[in-house]
Chains A and B, each alone.
Chain A
């Protein structure tokens, strides 16, 4: 079965420090990967998609097929980045099942002042 692994349940950094949230996937084929974020008392929302290769709120994520990883990075963390972060991917690209996502267990990021 396709899996997404986020090895860290908790991650704490100080404001201004670099942060990296790890995500590894087991996927046969071309993966389409996402990072979703949930801020306190807010709904789960898309942060970024690997296919668009964009930077959102200073975050980037690079797909490394060799290491089957899609780590989320930010060079200088801010207090408002404190949230739950989920890595996710669909079971297959295209077809009738896209939109169905497999989520990792999530990483709680705390950025201390």
Chain B
């Protein structure tokens, strides 16, 4: 499968612990996005990278959240001191980043489920 892959697929953690999710985008995709999805809601944008540069962060991304894409390939999303409200599906997506070819078409991973107990 050459799609966007995410790891782990499921994570249960105790409140106050730190968790880290990894995303491997489609090869040669310049842009990488993180979204969060809670039950009954559509995905909500968190942040995105153009290569290794983090170009935009949503106000949803509190200071407990940090995302990196150190070499412009895979990305990590870390949540420190988790809270029960952080329980959600964390979706990663990637796109070629060339508007003239595929525009805003983004390709999603299967997501990482986080449950904070």
Interface set of A (CB-CB < 8 Å, partner B): 4, 9, 32, 34, 42-46, 49, 51, 86, 88, 90, 94, 96-106
Contacts and interface: CB of A to CB of B under 8 A. Distances in A.
Interface string B1-30: 001100000000000000000000000000
B99 A103 contact: no
A45 B108 contact: yes
Contact of A32 (B4, B48, B91, B104): B104
Given A44-B91, A46-B105, A90-B104, A98 B33 contact: no
Interface in B27-72: 31, 33, 40-45, 48, 50, 55-56
A48 B31 CA distance: 20
Given A88-B42, A103-B43, A97 B56 contact: yes
Q: Is the interface of A mostly helix, strand, loop or mixed?
A: loop
A98 B99 contact: yes
A34 B106 CA distance: 11
Nearest to B89: A44
A105 B41 contact: yes
A73 B33 CA distance: 29
B52 to A, nearest CB: 15
B3 A99 contact: no
Interface string B92-110: 0101010100011111111
